[in-house]
Each structure stands twice: as C-alpha cells, then as structure tokens.
Chain A
C-alpha cells in the first residue's frame, strides 16, 4: 500500500526510537503515554501499520481499519457516521486516530480503556468488519509467511503463540506514532513565534479561552495542549431523537443489559442506544447523553462534527455552542448561550483552523485540488 510520504518520514523518525528513550514529541504535545507492557519499537510500528491496512480482517475481505480511518483524510472518512462492511451505516462519527494516544479512554463513550482494547471491538462488530470472532485474524497472521516472520521478530513468538493481544498491541504501537503537533497554534503559543497566527486567529484564541468558554473542556495547558479533558459531557446533540421516549429506551436498554446483550454491538447498531452515550457504559443516570470531549487538533480537516456527525462545518459548530447547545434535562452545567458577536464567531473559526498540523494541512490542500489525483499528489510530495 502507498504511504503518505510525510507519514513515511515520521516512521523513519520513529526508527530513532531505540530502547527506553523516546524522541521529543512534536511541538505542543505532551509525551505519548506508553503502557509498560507494550513498548514502542520500530519493527512493531511497521507491523502495526500493516495490520491497520489489512483487509483480510473482515468478513468479505473489503474492510480494514484504514477503510474508515483513512490516512489521507486525517484518519477519518469524511462521513457523518461510519460505513462498514457491505456499506452498512453505523451510528457514530469516525473519530480520528491522530492523537488518540492521548485519550484515557477510547470510543465516544469511553467504553474501552486503551488503544489495545479498542482495537479488538471493530473486528467483531457486525456493522464494521463483520467477523464472527477473532479466529480469521489469527488464521491470517499465523499462516501468512510475512506476518509469521514479523510477529516472531517483534514478539518472539511462534505462529501458534500469536494471540489477538499481539495483534492489537502492534496496532496500538502504530497508533501511538500517529500524533501531530507543530500547528500554527503550537508555534504561536509554545514556539514563541508571534507571527505564526493571523490577527483573527489570535483574537479567536482569546475567545476560546474566555467568552467562548471552550478551554474549560478543550484544555490548553502550560506547555502542551491535547484539547481534551478526557471527560464526558452532554451538549444535547441528537438528544431530541430519544428525549420523547427516553424512559422506554432506558428501560429496554437496562433489560437488554441484564440479559447480557453486547454493549459494543448495540451501541453501533441501535441508533437509540447510541444516543444514551456514557450512560450505556456506566449505568449512571447523570451520564445520559454524555460523550467524550474530542481533541480539536486537526479539527478543520476532520469534518463532520459531533458524535453523530450532524454538524457539517466549524461555523455550524460555533453557532451550536453560541445558542447554548440543545436544551435537555441532562445538559452539561457548563453549556450556556455565549452571545458571541459575528466577528468573534469568525475569529473563533479562524483559530480552530490554526490547529491543523502541517502534514494534514498539505494533504487537505491536495485533496481540495481534485479527487484521486490530489491524493496521489499528496502521497508523492
């Protein structure tokens, strides 16, 4: 498969990660959290990237992780909700893999605690890869000669010893290299380059930190910014769809859980369960309609927005927050009308655009040129 050249450069830079010492993270990012049991090695990353693109890990050989997490689209798919095997539509917007390493839980409702655990689910979800079990995956990696060699080199295991945990560890290691900083915002705030942002974006940063109240959840810290508080909030997005029949839906959901229904499957196949958000994971009533704060890095190239992809543009997003979200009984205490001026809204959008890292800005520009040619151009650069 063809690799975006800058991604290739990143991977080559990754080969400098020998042993315990990791290279300094890109400007504006904290060090990537790496679990003790799954250190990053260049070989593991290469293996993980191959697995990420492996279409044989699906029921009809058409879907890989990269099907929805397209590297050329900042690891998203540009769709409101994901479309998996046989073009089945899911219920949630595909989150970007870029900087997902900084989340303390994965998925919009945080139902998995790590990249490793997250990777196990889509394979066996009927809407995504459509496999009945992880069996076919193990079949492939245990019989394919290249995989056999790679797994032996990376984990020191014989083919029969390869487990799904090895597979997802490699994928997670690759994902931990899919990080990006060094955006114009980073150069302005952390790099000391006061010319890195336009006047409008500088005003927008001020709105972001004050009147817009954005920074309270989309965090900016002293020396780095992940733009997430790793917490869950109810903005009311999509809540109208279930509000009139909320009691019925919750009762049905609780019943299904008591009977042992699968959370991952029901969340992505039943739109109504999906809207329950974090409640479906914790069972806590006050978690109704809460979803994880996503990072805003590269937000300009990861449209559409919100957990259901219902907001198409950054302007729409700003309008949504300005009006105080969608009223509902469980609305987050921090969401309220902002009374932004038109200028402030424009400035805020300008600021959000400045969060795009150079690699994705280039890819987006190439995309803007024209379809497939543009993608190839981006790859060739």
Chain B
C-alpha cells in the first residue's frame, strides 16, 4: 500500500472543510423571482422585550439581559440584515421610562429599526408617547419590491377603554395575563379603511408583508391571541398572490396558513409562553399567570426566548428562529404544500418524542 502523504496542512484543511460545512451562518437564498435583478433580502426580528421598571433607572435585569442579547447577536449577523423589525411590547407597563430605556438599548443596533406597537406600549396613554418618540402607530413602506404594512392590531372596543378610572388601571388590566376582564384585540374599521387605500395602488403580484403585534387571526381568546376583525383584514389581503403576516405577542414558535396568507410568530426576548415557575432565589419578576404551565426549562431564564431573522426570497418568507437554549429552527414556505413548514421537525420521523422528566 502506498504511503499516504498526509501533511499537516492537508489533514487540517480536510478537517476544516468539514467543520466549515457544519458551521452554517445566515443563509441567503439567491433566487431571482421573475425579474432580471435579484430581489431577495434578509431582515431581523426582535420582539416582546417587556422592559419593566422597578424604580428610577433600575429595570428588571432578566428582561434587560434578553433584549441586550438579541441586539448583540443581531449585530453579529453576517451578512448584515437590511433592517430590524421590533415586534411590539418594548415596555411592560407603557411607562415613558420603559420606552426610553428600550429606545436606548435598541440604539445599539447597527441597522435601521422598523417599529410595531404592542398593547403594553399603548394602553397607558393610548399610544401618545409611542407615536411621538418611536414611530407612527400604523404605516407602510416598500423595500426591494416588497410592500410592507405595519398595523396597530391591538386596539379594542371603546367602552372597555372608557371603563377604567385611571390610565394605570387600564394599562394593568390590559397587561394582566389570562384576564377574564380582558377585551379582544382588533384592527378597527378606520384602520381597515386606511389599509384598503394603502393597498389600492399595489399590484396583486407584489409580495405583501404585514407586520402586526398580535396575530391577525383567531388562535386562543383567553390569552388574547386574537384579532376580532381578523376576517375583515384578511379580506383586504385576499387578492394578493403572496402575503406573509409576521407578529409577536404569543412568545412562542407559531405558524399557520390561512387561504393565501402565511403567518409566522416570533419569540419574546423576555419570557416564553407558557412558562413554569422559574427556579430562582429571588422573587420572580415574570407577571402572574392564573395557571402556571410546565413547558420551558425552569433552570434557564432564556429557554423558550430568542429572536429571529427572515429571508425573503421570491416574495416568500423563511423564518429562522434563534432559540437560545435550543437548536435553531427554520420554518419556510413550502411551494409544494402551499404553507409554512418546519424544515426539520415536520417530518413525522424526525419529531422528538414527548419526554418524561423526573
């Protein structure tokens, strides 16, 4: 047998090639869609930071840490994202101090931010400070041939809003989880009229991406994973060939296809849903649930939280979830089945069986 001349360089190069193949950074699919120039791009998505003021300049450090980590990681994305969407609920109780604190942390991002308002940002002053300091409550923009619409999907019925004697009471009522005295979210007729006008000039072939805080469909009413006039909003989007809705609010991996619309949810950076009683030595700062549920690892405050980024290629979205205490997952629109599909776990053979923990 001939002597295999393995030099150090060739051996390590081989090993390096294997390692390099295993190291998968941001994936960009270079597919041109129907035009001569490639119109694919990537943007990041951070959501639901729920920054909570304790007193003065002291904020709940767990939630600060979550947002800081997402921002730090987004800044390491290579190639850089075109922009970063913030999915809403920057603050926990809508206080100016909390919104300011969030703006300060987010200013470390090395990409422009597109803001979506959440109910925790809104209900203390009905969005006044947000509209003044952060962004319009609803707006639209175009980017590389894709029409983006940002909706305020967390409005609700006027008589519920008027019911509370102070803004703080109103905010607390809306912030309360599992709230039997809650009120379902909606986009509202006025905004839907605005939406209709905004979309009037957009051709049905143009990919449309809608960014809202709460899901624009009906998931689970007791948790306000809900939009009361979802059907009306979806009707406005019906004529478009490629529609994607990306939302936060649910603090979990969630995706769906309803008619022509693909829905993708984003994690929170603060806490997952559902969540267990956290195993801590200090009082738990996570809001009280009426029923604690076991799901995320109680040992790690970052389990079930994370951020993500989306590749828009051919006008369809692939959502990459960066799960901090778990393996990353990609949910991508599958043209064959016509809906978002988890690229790894959808296959029944690849599903992780339920586990018993002692």
Write the residues of chain A forming the contact surface with B, with a CB cutoff of 8 angstroms.
111, 120, 124, 131-135, 138, 160-161, 163-164, 211, 213, 216, 222, 247, 250, 254, 257, 260-265, 281-286, 288, 329-334, 336-339
A250 cross-chain contacts in B, Cβ below 8 A: 76
Interfacial residues of chain B within 262-312, with CB under 8 A of chain A in the complex:
279-282, 297, 299-303, 305
A133 touches B7 (CB 8 A): yes
B3 on the A face (CB < 8 A): yes
B7 touches A262 (CB 8 A): no
Q: Which of A211, A254, A262, A263 contacts B281 (CB 8 A)?
A: A211
Write the residues of chain B forming the contact surface with A, with a CB cutoff of 8 angstroms.
1, 3-9, 11-13, 15-17, 19-20, 22-25, 65, 68-69, 72-73, 75-78, 279-282, 297, 299-303, 305, 322, 324-325, 328, 358
Q: Say whether, besides A285-B73, A285-B76, A336 and B12 are in contact (CB < 8 Å).
A: no
B15 touches A332 (CB 8 A): no
Closest-CB distance, B278 to chain A (whole angstroms): 10
A330 touches B72 (CB 8 A): yes
Q: Could you list some 15 contacts between A and B, CB below 8 A?
A: A135-B5, A160-B1, A211-B281, A247-B76, A250-B76, A262-B9, A262-B12, A282-B22, A284-B328, A285-B76, A329-B72, A330-B69, A330-B73, A331-B65, A334-B301
Q: Say whether, besides A111-B19, A138-B3, A283 and B24 are in contact (CB < 8 Å).
A: yes
Closest-CB distance, B315 to chain A (whole angstroms): 27
Query: What is the number of contacts between chain A and chain B, taking CB atoms within 8 Å?
Result: 103
Interchain CA distance A163-B24 in the complex, whole Å: 32
B358 cross-chain contacts in A, Cβ below 8 A: 222
B9 cross-chain contacts in A, Cβ below 8 A: 262
B7 touches A132 (CB 8 A): yes
Q: Say whether, besides A134-B6, A163-B4, A329-B68, A263 and B19 are in contact (CB < 8 Å).
A: yes
B297 cross-chain contacts in A, Cβ below 8 A: 334
Interchain CA distance A163-B281 in the complex, whole Å: 55
Interchain CA distance A380-B303 in the complex, whole Å: 52
Interchain CA distance A332-B305 in the complex, whole Å: 12
A337 touches B281 (CB 8 A): yes
Closest-CB distance, B28 to chain A (whole angstroms): 14
Given contacts A120-B11, A164-B6, 17 further A-B contacts (CB under 8 A): A132-B8, A138-B3, A213-B299, A257-B20, A262-B9, A262-B13, A262-B15, A263-B15, A282-B24, A284-B25, A284-B328, A285-B73, A329-B73, A330-B69, A330-B72, A330-B73, A332-B300
Interchain CA distance A264-B279 in the complex, whole Å: 38
Q: Say whether, besides A285-B76, A331-B65, A333-B300, A134 and B22 are in contact (CB < 8 Å).
A: no
Closest to B12 in A: A262
B300 touches A134 (CB 8 A): no
Interchain CA distance A336-B324 in the complex, whole Å: 16
B281 cross-chain contacts in A, Cβ below 8 A: 211, 336-339
Interchain CA distance A91-B13 in the complex, whole Å: 21
A281 cross-chain contacts in B, Cβ below 8 A: 19, 22-23
A124 cross-chain contacts in B, Cβ below 8 A: 8, 11-12
B65 cross-chain contacts in A, Cβ below 8 A: 331
Q: Which of A264, A283, A285, A339 contacts B12 (CB 8 A)?
A: A264
Closest to A329 in B: B72
The 8 closest A-B pairs by CB, nearest first: A333-B302, A283-B23, A333-B300, A329-B72, A262-B12, A334-B300, A216-B299, A124-B8
Closest to B322 in A: A286
Closest-CB distance, B212 to chain A (whole angstroms): 27
Closest to B74 in A: A285
A283 cross-chain contacts in B, Cβ below 8 A: 23-25
Interchain CA distance A133-B299 in the complex, whole Å: 45
A333 touches B303 (CB 8 A): yes
Closest-CB distance, B16 to chain A (whole angstroms): 6
B11 cross-chain contacts in A, Cβ below 8 A: 120, 124, 133-134
Closest to A216 in B: B299
Interchain CA distance A160-B2 in the complex, whole Å: 8
Q: Which of B6, B16, B75 contacts A262 (CB 8 A)?
A: B16
A331 cross-chain contacts in B, Cβ below 8 A: 65
Closest-CB distance, A85 to chain B (whole angstroms): 14
A133 touches B72 (CB 8 A): no
Interchain CA distance A49-B140 in the complex, whole Å: 70
Closest-CB distance, A247 to chain B (whole angstroms): 7
Interchain CA distance A330-B325 in the complex, whole Å: 11
Closest to A211 in B: B281
Closest-CB distance, B106 to chain A (whole angstroms): 14
Q: Say whether, besides A132-B8, A134-B11, A260-B13, A285 and B77 are in contact (CB < 8 Å).
A: yes
Interchain CA distance A213-B301 in the complex, whole Å: 13
Closest-CB distance, B25 to chain A (whole angstroms): 5
A163 cross-chain contacts in B, Cβ below 8 A: 4
B20 cross-chain contacts in A, Cβ below 8 A: 257
B22 cross-chain contacts in A, Cβ below 8 A: 281-282
Interchain CA distance A222-B301 in the complex, whole Å: 26
A333 touches B76 (CB 8 A): no
B325 touches A333 (CB 8 A): yes
Closest-CB distance, A122 to chain B (whole angstroms): 12
B280 touches A336 (CB 8 A): yes
A332 cross-chain contacts in B, Cβ below 8 A: 300, 302
A338 cross-chain contacts in B, Cβ below 8 A: 281
Q: Say whether, besides A134-B6, A261-B16, A285-B77, A161 and B72 are in contact (CB < 8 Å).
A: no
Interchain CA distance A129-B20 in the complex, whole Å: 25
Closest-CB distance, B338 to chain A (whole angstroms): 31
B24 cross-chain contacts in A, Cβ below 8 A: 282-284
Interchain CA distance A337-B1 in the complex, whole Å: 60
Interchain CA distance A133-B3 in the complex, whole Å: 13
B69 touches A265 (CB 8 A): no
A285 cross-chain contacts in B, Cβ below 8 A: 73, 76-77, 322
Closest-CB distance, A262 to chain B (whole angstroms): 4
Interchain CA distance A261-B8 in the complex, whole Å: 12
Q: Which of B16, B23, B69, B73 contacts A282 (CB 8 A)?
A: B23
Interchain CA distance A270-B3 in the complex, whole Å: 33
Interchain CA distance A111-B12 in the complex, whole Å: 12
Interchain CA distance A257-B17 in the complex, whole Å: 9
Closest-CB distance, B73 to chain A (whole angstroms): 5
B12 cross-chain contacts in A, Cβ below 8 A: 124, 262-265
Closest-CB distance, A24 to chain B (whole angstroms): 24
A133 cross-chain contacts in B, Cβ below 8 A: 5-8, 11
B23 cross-chain contacts in A, Cβ below 8 A: 257, 281-284
B73 touches A286 (CB 8 A): yes
